[in-house]
Amino acid sequence: MPKRHPTPSPSTLSLSSTQKNSWSNENILDVGTSKVSDEEGSYPSGVDHSLEEIDAAFDAIKIYPHTFTIPTEHKKHSHRHEHQYNRDSPIIVTALFDIGRGKWIKYTRTYTQYMNYLENLLTLNNRMVIFTDHIGAEFVRRKRHSTNTEIFEITIRNIPLYRYRDEMEQILTLEQREWNYDPKTKDKPESKSADYDVLVNSKAYFLYNATQSSKFRANAIYYAWIDAGYGHGDKNVIPLYCHWKPTFPDGLITVIKLTPEHDKISRYSINDLYRVDWSVVSGGFLAGDSTTIYRFYRFYKKTFLDLLDAKKVDDDQTVLTLTMKNYASLFNVIH
């Protein structure tokens, strides 16, 4: 169940291909890496975390088709067509990992459910980079053609933020023992699962990693992160078997803001966001050009580590909101 957010008023979006949805925070399975690091050790708590340290080691919108690339009569069944792509066609980046959520007492979802959710996204004819485990990789291979799909098969231990998992777990355990926040947020995934927080906070890194490691990078400018659980299986959210070609502004990261335009991000502090049942932005969609994605990745990483130094661990929506506040000129915000 996502964090609470106000119902947005109807508006004309500058990115006509996107629109908000209420399930945007259901991001449990979203991560992966293309440049796999085998350094899996954890760092002790009580240490300062720097950008150089990691560098050395290393719910929601609708998508509308801009151009259809297959005849209408083909839309009801899956074909493995080859398509011609130009540099303006965005590469979709997503990921799927099993962190045992099917065994949770609350906020339960099975891995099979998430594979079913992902299936709609996999029908898009865009080039796609997918980070996943072995089961997820086998699923994707059955649904996608290798000519427009790249799979990086890894485990969550290969994810750079995993080195901080023990420290994150200690913070969450202490909070649970001495809970001083909104009771409604105590059982939420970000409050209880270090694996969940590792995964959702790795989106920026893996989006950047796709710009550096994908086999498509020589003929691509724009990359768009779309959650694997996008739409929770609703076939009206993602039109099947189309080539999605939106227009993104250069030099900016496009983000969906859930609260009204008059609700300025600059007013939010960590106390307004941490363990509060309220969402300001959607973590389910991020897009930009490859150069800007690198800047975004570094700023997001710094924000995450600053919170970790302050003994705080939260999901990507909180970290993204603070990143947008501190680096406002980097973002194209859609209300």
Predicted pLDDT at 237: 83
Q: What angle is formed at CA 242 by the lines to CA 240 and CA 243, rounded to 5 degrees?
A: 145
SS3 at position 184:
helix
Place of tokens 């919108």: 61
Runs of H (alpha helix) within the chain? 51-57, 111-122, 134-143, 165-177, 189-192, 194-200, 203-213, 270-273, 290-309, 316-326
Q: Please tell me the predicted confidence (pLDDT) of residue 234.
A: 87
Instruction: Please name which of 17, 21, 39, 33 lies closest in space to residue 212, comparing C-alpha atoms.
Output: 33
What is the identity of the amino acid at 45? S
Instruction: Provide the pLDDT for residue 67.
Output: 30
CA 219 to chain centre: 23
Distance (Å) of CA 5 to CA 23, 52, 59, 62: 10, 36, 10, 17
pLDDT of residue 11: 28
CATH fit for domain 51-77+86-334, picks 3.30.450, 3.10.310, 3.90.550, 1.20.1740: 3.90.550
Domain definitions of the chain by residue range: 51-77+86-334
DSSP label of 163: G
Q: How many CB atoms lie within 10 A of CB 72?
A: 8
How far, in Å, CA of 276 to CA of 278, rounded? 6
How far is the C-alpha of 321 from the C-alpha of 200, rounded, in Å?
Answer: 14
Closest to 255 measured CA to CA, from 280, 228, 291:
280
Q: Backbone phi, then psi, for 40, in 5-degree steps?
A: -110, 5
Nearest residue to 303 (alpha-carbon basis) of 331, 277, 264? 331
Per-block average pLDDT, block size 10, for the chain (335 residues)? 43 29 31 35 55 48 36 40 75 98 96 96 96 98 97 96 98 98 98 98 96 96 94 84 94 98 98 97 96 98 98 98 99 96
The C-alpha atoms of residue 187 and residue 27 are separated, in whole angstroms, by 16
